Chain A
Amino acid sequence: MSFDRNRVPSWRPGYRFQYEPAQQGHVLLYPEGMIKLNDSAGMIGGLIDGQRSVAAIIEQLQQQFPDVPEVGVDIEQFMEVARAEHWISLS
C-alpha cells in the first residue's frame, strides 16, 4: 500500500512540539509525558503545521539536504509511526 503524500499532518490536539535547550533537541510534550525526538524527527516535526502536506515537507527537506537520497522514505516512515502512536492525524 503506498503512502498518500497529499495528506496534511497536524499534531494531535493538546500535544506540543518544542525545542528544549537543556536537552539540545526537540521534544513532543503531551499529558504527563514527553518524547525526545532525534535530529531528523525534530526537523520533520518542525514542518508540521496543519497546512503543509507530506509532499511539501519532503520537498522542503530535499532542498535542504540534496545529498541524502532517502529523505522521502524517512519522512513517510516518521508519519506512519507518528500516526500509529496517535501523535498526529493525517487529513
Chain B
Amino acid sequence: MPSTGSASPEVPVGLPLWLLAELTYRCPLQCPYCSNPLDFANQGQELSTAQWFQVMAEAREMGAAQIGFSGGEPLVRQDLNELIGEARRLGYYTNLITSGIGLTEQKIAAFKQAGLDHIQISFQASDEQVNNLLAGSKKAFAHKLEMARAVKAHGYPMVLNFVTHRHNIDRTDRIIELCLALEADFVELATCQFYGWAQLNRAGLLPTREQLQRAERITNDYRERLKAEGNPCKLIFVTPDYYEERPKACMNGWGSIFLTVTPDGTALPCHGARQLPIAFPNVREHSLQHIWYDSFGFNRFRGFGWMPEPCRSCDEKEKDFGGCRCQAFMLTGDASNADPVCSKSDRHGVILAARAEAEYAAQSITDLAFRNERNSHLIVKS
C-alpha cells in the first residue's frame, strides 16, 4: 500500500473508500442547518464534466467503492446523468443525495438507466408547514412525497433523511410512520450537527436533553416493533454530540476512509473541513494520489503525533481520535485541541452552556438565518 509522506509512519494510511462528490453549492432550498460553508456564494468555478470524470477514475483506482453525488442540490447539474453513467461504468456504488426538488419521474427512470444504485431524499419534517418553512419553499413537501413514491416504484432502495432539531424532534413518531408508509429501506433521524449554517443557528436548533431522550426512546420502540414484524426498514438515530461526554470518532479518523471533493475541486478529509485554517489541495492542480497520501492537509491530523494534552496521554484516543477537528476549531480556536464535547477538555464548559441555553431558548423557526445567497454575502462581509 502506498503510504509515502504519512505524518505518522506507525499508522498505515487507509484507502479512500468513500468519495463524496459535492457537485455544486447551488440549491433551490434555504435550510438553516445546511452544512455548506457560510461563504458558499463566494466559492470558485465548478469543475467540468471532464474534470469530474478524472476525479472519479483516480479515486476508483485508489479503492473508492461508494460515491455520493451531493451538493447543494446535485440535480441542478445538467450533466448529472453522464456523471452517474460514468461512475457506474467505473464500478462505483452510486448514491444520489437530494432534496427531491427538481426531481421528476422521467429523471428517476433515466438515472436508473444510467446505472444509479440508490436515491436518498432529505425531508425537513413530517409536517407540511414546518417542512416548507424550513426549506423556504411552499410546495416542497408534497413534491418530496410524490418523488419518494416514484423512487420506490422504479425499484431503487431508498434512504429518507430527516434532519431533526428542537422544532421537529417531538414529531419523531410521525416522521417514522411517514417513512414506513413510503417504504423507506433506511431512515436517518439525524439530529442537527452544528457546522456551517447550523452552527450559526445553534441556539434555535439544539433540542433539550428531554426532547432528545424522548425521541430516542420512541425510535427504540419502533426498532423492536420492526424487528418483530420482520420489516427490513432500518432506523438510524444520530444523536447530537452536544449531549455526549466523549466525542465522536469523527470521519472514522482524519484522512482515513473519507474523501470529499467540493464544487470548485478543493479536496477535503470531511465536508466541514473547509473552514479550517489549512490550505487544502485542489484536484485541478494535483492528482488524488498525491492529495490523499502526500498532501499536508490530509496528513495534518493523521496518527496521534499532533495531539496536545489531554488527548496525547488519553487511553481513549485510538477510539475517538480526539473527536472532531472542525468542532475543536469552531469552539476553541485551535483545531488540534480536544473536541470540547469531551468532558476531559478544559473547554467543555461551552458545551454545558449550550445545553443550558437549550433549556430556555425561545427562537421560533422564522428567527433562523436561512441559507441563501443574500445571507451568505451579508455574513461574510460582517
Contact = CB atoms under 8 A, between A and B. Distances in A.
Q: Do A and B bind each other?
A: yes
Q: Interface size class for chain A?
A: 10 to 19
Interface in B159-183: 159
Q: Majority SS of interface residues in chain B? A: loop
A77 interface: no
Contacts of A86: 232, 234
Nearest to A86: B232
A16 B117 contact: yes
B232 A12 contact: yes
Interface string B7-33: 000000001010000000000000000
Interface in A24-76: 27, 29-34
Contact of B157 (A20, A27, A31, A34): A31
A52 to B, nearest CB: 22
Given A22-B15, A31-B120, A15 B63 contact: no
B63 A13 contact: no
Given A32-B95, A32-B118, A23 B63 contact: yes
Residue of A15, A16, A18, A29 ringed by the most chain B CB atoms within 10 A: A29
A14 B15 contact: no
A81 B52 CA distance: 38
B185 A31 contact: yes
A23 B15 contact: yes
A32 B66 contact: yes
A3 to B, nearest CB: 17
B255 interface: no
Contacts of A22: 15, 62-63
A27 B117 CA distance: 15
Contacts, number: 53
Contacts of B93: 16, 29-30, 34
A7 to B, nearest CB: 16
Given A14-B118, A23-B15, A29 B156 contact: no
B66 A34 contact: yes
B118 A20 contact: no
Nearest to A22: B63
A23 B66 CA distance: 13
B296 interface: no
B361 interface: no
Contacts of B159: 31-32
B155 interface: yes
B251 interface: no
A16 B120 CA distance: 17
Nearest to A34: B65
Contacts of B155: 13-14
Interface in B240-256: none
Contacts of A12: 157, 232
Contacts of A14: 117-118, 155-157, 185
Contacts of A16: 93, 117
A32 B15 contact: no
Contacts of B68: 32
A30 B158 CA distance: 10
Nearest to B17: A34
B313 to A, nearest CB: 33
26 contacts: A13-B157, A14-B117, A14-B118, A14-B157, A20-B63, A22-B15, A22-B63, A27-B65, A29-B65, A29-B66, A29-B93, A30-B93, A30-B118, A30-B157, A31-B95, A31-B118, A31-B157, A31-B158, A31-B159, A31-B185, A31-B186, A32-B68, A32-B118, A32-B120, A32-B186, A86-B234
Given A29-B93, A31-B159, A32-B68, 8 more contacts: A22-B62, A23-B65, A27-B65, A29-B65, A30-B93, A31-B157, A32-B66, A86-B232
Interface of B: 15, 17, 62-63, 65-66, 68, 91, 93, 95, 117-118, 120, 155-159, 185-186, 232, 234
Interface of A: 12-16, 18, 20, 22-23, 27, 29-34, 86
